[in-house]
Amino acid sequence: MKQAFIVLGLMFTMQLNAQTGSLKALDINLDNYTYPFPVHYITVNAQQQNLKMAYMDVQPNVPANGHAVLLLHGKNFNGAYWEQTANALAVKDYRVIIPDQIGFGKSSKPAQFQYTFQLLAQNTRNILDSLGINKIIVVGHSMGGMVAVRFSLMYPQLVSKLVLVNPIGLEDWKVHVPYVDIDKQYKKELSQTYESLKKYQVENYYHGTWKPAYDKWLNLLAGWTLDKNYPTVAWNNALTSDMVFTQPVCYEFKNIAAPTLLIIGQADRTAIGKENASPEVKKQLGNYPLLGRAAQQQIKNSKLVEIPGVGHLPHIEAFDQFINPLLKFLP
């Protein structure tokens, strides 16, 4: 039995070494990483800085149906992971706009910045204004769900429909979890490795499972840790973690005016900072079956689609179960 465990351990170590050995160092703005669609930029003038904000503009089949969809990424991701969704929407004649928020993906990583969801929403509107888009269907995943809610509250006249895909922020963690300041968050981010990033995603996103298809998105994060400028990425990660923790949107669900669809993978257990909570509190946080139903009750004119056995990323883990209700909801 002991020999069997040793063999299994060696196999796991060899597999892990093979995975991490194939990692490519990625530069701070992913200039050495190719996105699935052409990337465009606008200049964002914010906090006495000129910053570059990247986005993709996926054109629909001809003739277009006259509708545009905005896809907002999560905190540990960037716009590239919407590739399959964007293709499926374009085939159905939708125009698709996919930003990288400041601090993420191919957009600028400022050395100093005060992040707010209001600012992210405003920057996102600047993209739409530059493209002449005055009506949009907003789809937000994870942190992108928090941005989508803030965007919908700030610009209700622009939003025809809202879709929240396993959004974080369905509960106010700071009520239950001790605060960790930005300097400590930064220290934690500096210590991140392929192994620690994967462990977090296995436990919180994918309910204890892993598939080779997930490596692509993990490697984007892990590749940054190998770059000489990773401290700048880590600092922005710490700043945005503080934004997510301290700026809840859940108290304003009742003010959302747009027809809303919630798509909730029921195996998700994501909760920011729960590792700092007591064991008793930790068990209660990130209960997406309960959180999704509670949000649906608070959002007027909303529908809830529950996907059993699926975690934090329905559009990656169970695409058909995600895209079918989304298409049904869209005009």
- State both tokens at 162: 């809202």
pLDDT at 5 over 50: no
Distance CA 206, CA 9 (A): 22
pLDDT of amino acid 147: 98
Q: pLDDT confidence of 175, banded at 50, 70, 90?
A: very high
pLDDT of amino acid 4: 34
pLDDT of amino acid 21: 52
pLDDT at 12 over 60: no
pLDDT at 294 over 70: yes
pLDDT at 178 over 80: yes
Average pLDDT of the chain, as a whole number: 93
Which H or E run contains 132?
none
Residue 117, number of CB atoms within 10 A of its CB: 23
Cα 75 vs. chain centroid, distance in angstroms?
A: 4
pLDDT at 3 over 80: no
Per-residue pLDDT of 111-131, as tens digits, reads 999 999 999 999 999 999 999
pLDDT at 16 over 80: no
pLDDT of amino acid 22: 75
Domains and CATH numbers, the chain: 21-329 (3.40.50.1820)
User: Does pTM top 0.75 for this prediction?
Assistant: yes
Q: What percentage of the chain has pLDDT greater than the value 70? A: 94
Q: Which of 78, 70, 46, 93 is nearest to 223 (CA)?
A: 78
pLDDT of amino acid 63: 82
pLDDT of amino acid 2: 31
- State both tokens at 235: 């600092």
pLDDT at 325 over 90: yes
Per-residue pLDDT of 129-170, as tens digits, reads 999 999 999 999 999 999 999 999 999 999 999 999 999 999
- Average pLDDT value for residue range 211-224: 96
